[in-house]
Amino acid sequence: MNIKDLPEEDYFTSGHTACAGCPAPAIVRNMMKIFGKDTIVYTPANCLLVFSGTYPYLAWKVPYLHEAFENTGSCISGVARAYKKIGKKALVVGIAGDGGTYDIGIQALSGAAERDEDVIYVCYDNEAYMNTGIQRSGSTPYGASTTTTPAGKKIPGKLRHKKDMAEIMRAHEIPYMATLSISHPKDFLNKVEKAKNVKGFRYLHVFSPCPTGWRFDPSKSVEIARKAVQSGMWTLYEAEYGEITGIYKPKKKIPVEEYIKGQGRFRHLTPEMIEELQRWVDRKWKRLYGEEP
């Protein structure tokens, strides 16, 4: 599927209050174009909830609900089963942030995946708890400065590397999982379409640069997502029942240094720290592509 094949009809409206330049609204709007009108959306507490559902206002044009921060997996399971019980067809989609996925929501998510619930779980990954003011999460990369890993005299930003959530989900051997980036529209749309048409538990993990939390110019969101893919900081691949069925390899691999340029959260990185980040990328590259970078 290409951009030109996307329907005009929107199920996510303008007028939401996301930060200027936040790519999350474009991510969900384009996904919804494919998911269509017979979709029910769930979001836990996160930026998306707050900027698209500030009661009584809603940017969604489909049934939409939210419950607690930690139970996206359980809530979408319940909704999907209720629909099955009353015999109605609906696509049940949960959209959680990285905090809601990697950390607090992981057990509900893992349970739903293991039971193979008939739902789509989307994680939009902005690498920290943004809604509450940029606290580190299991997804925050090494070296990034957040309000709970502030770069200063005591620590040089986050000391641990990013947790590989996509691989954790692949290990669940679910019918379909994929990693996506808005900077690669064709790949993005194909994966969303595929997820829509598969039955059982589906996991979509989208990279979502945050101009506010990462401190970069709002016009650069898509460019930074693209550089994340080109550098190997973010890898685009998909898997069915645990087997990798497709992996995108950047034509030219750029150094991590080029990716972190212009992002305030990495401004303090020393050459040694950049090397450490590069080593992490190279290890991941070798593991996923099965060859030296």
Partner 1 sequence: MIFLAIFSFAIKLILHYHITWRMYEIRFHGRGGQGGRMAAEAYALAAFLEGNYAVSFPFFGAERRGAPVRAFTRVDNKKIRIKTQVYEPDYVVVLDETLIETEDVLEGLKEDGMVIINTQRKPEEVKLSKPVKCATVDATSIALDILGRPITNTSILGAIAKATGKVSIESIEKAIIEKFGERLGKEAGEKNALAARTAYEKTLIGVSQGGKAFVPRKKWLPDVNEMPVGGATPAMKTDAGLVGIGSFIENKTGDWRTFIPSIDKEKCIGCRFCWFYCPEGCIEMVDNKANVNYDYCKGCGICANECPVNAIEMKREVRT
Bridge pairing between strands 39-42 and 176-181: unpaired
Out of 48, 119, 182, 233, the only residue in the binding site for partner 1 (CB under 8 A) is 182
Q: Strands, DSSP E only, in 58-173?
A: 64-65, 91-97, 120-125
Residue 51 is a binding residue for partner 1 (CB under 8 A) = yes
CA distance 93 to 42: 6
Residue 126 is a binding residue for Mg ion (CB under 5 A) = yes
Of residues 206 and 239, the one with the C-beta less far from ligand TPP? 206
Q: Decide: 166 and 150 in contact? Cβ < 8 Å.
A: no
Of residues 70 and 117, the one with the C-beta less far from ligand TPP? 70
Which residues are bridge partners to 97 per DSSP?
Answer: 124
Of residues 18 and 91, the one with the C-beta less far from Mg ion? 18
CA distance 109 to 166: 12
Binding mask 208-237 for ligand SF4 (x = CB under 6 A): --xxxx------------------------
3-state secondary structure 135-152: ECCCCCCCCCCCCCCCCC
Residue 98 is a binding residue for Mg ion (CB under 5 A) = yes
What string of DSSP letters covers 247-273? E---SSPPPHHHHHTT-GGGTT--HHH
Out of 130, 182, 195, 229, the only residue in the binding site for ligand SF4 (CB under 6 A) is 130
Of residues 94 and 99, the one with the C-beta less far from ligand TPP? 99
Closest among 201, 210, 177 to 191, alpha carbons compared: 177
Residue 56 is a binding residue for partner 1 (CB under 8 A) = yes
- Min CB(123)–ligand TPP separation in Å: 9
Using the contact rule CB under 6 A, the part of the chain among 15-23, 154-162, 239-247, 279-287 near ligand SF4 is 15-23
For 125-205, where are the alpha helices, taking DSSP H only? 165-170, 185-197
Count residues contacting partner 1 (CB under 8 A)? 47
What is the binding site for partner 1 (CB under 8 A)?
Answer: 3-4, 6, 10, 12-26, 29-30, 47, 50-52, 54-64, 182, 185, 211-212, 217-223
